[in-house]
Amino acid sequence: MTALEINDVRFRYDALEALRGVSVAASAGEAVAIVGVNGAGKTTLLNVAAGLLRPASGSIHAFGKPVGGGLRHRMRGGVVLVPEGRHVVTRLPVEDNVLLGASCHGWRRPPASAIAFAYEVFPELDSLRTRRAGALSGGQQQMLAIGRALVAQPRILLLDEPSQGLAPVVLERLAASLRRLRESGITLVVVEQNLSFARTCTDRLYALAAGTVRFTGTWDAAPADLLF
């Protein structure tokens, strides 16, 4: 089954056409990378899928149904964004940041199973529950941002540059966690410039350049000049 289908999406920032008829699809439980240089349209595409931006044309479907509304509406429908830069609430402890993931559903407290799953995927956070998020390392903050998203109970998880600024040893742990999410049945769409990291945690890729898809396929079939 196709989990996410983005069809012929166009988006413009004033005079700049950032997306020029982009189409992307991901099957249920699949992990797909969106790669390209800065300005290729990667983050714009993810923000359109998440409901932060409204496209000029095109359509988006999740599990065969049209997707509309803004960010919170799409989160309630299972399409959840982990933004670039993490955006954790630095003055709050880890456990409160995790609980914020359920705010899109209006819950005072999310189901215990959703909380438990977040800490199961990122057990390092369990021992840091009372620590202020601002005192965490960059890798721990990235884990927290994803853990918070998991409490929203996503079926499709959109991740924008999750490897940004992280040390290689942290990237190995993060890649293992993303593979764990895929095994649980969550569909992943990962925007990345770090190709080696993206290759470790995704099945195939779409390469964007100047707002268009220039290549789609497996990593083994990707051209040497992938970022064009």
Average pLDDT over residues 17-30: 97
pLDDT of 172 over the 90 cut: yes
Query: What is the radius of gyration, based on Cα positions, of the chain?
Result: 17
Alpha helix (H) residue ranges in the chain: 42-50, 71-76, 94-99, 112-121, 123-126, 138-150, 168-183, 195-201
User: In the prediction, which pLDDT does 228 show?
Assistant: 65
Mean pLDDT of the chain: 94
Q: How far apart, in whole angstroms, are the C-alpha atoms of residue 94 and residue 99?
A: 9
Strands 204-209 and 2-13: unpaired
User: In the prediction, which pLDDT does 85 show?
Assistant: 86
pTM exceeds 0.85 for this model: yes
pLDDT of 106 over the 80 cut: no
User: In the prediction, which pLDDT does 103 show?
Assistant: 84
Q: Which two tokens stand for residue 23?
A: 């189409």
Question: How many contiguous H segments (helices) and E segments (strands) does the chain have?
Answer: 8, 10
pLDDT of 109 over the 90 cut: no
pLDDT confidence band for 131 (50 / 70 / 90): very high
- CATH classification number, 2-218, choose in 3.40.50.300, 3.40.50.150, 3.30.460.10, 1.10.1740.10: 3.40.50.300
Name the residue with tokens 């190709």: 195
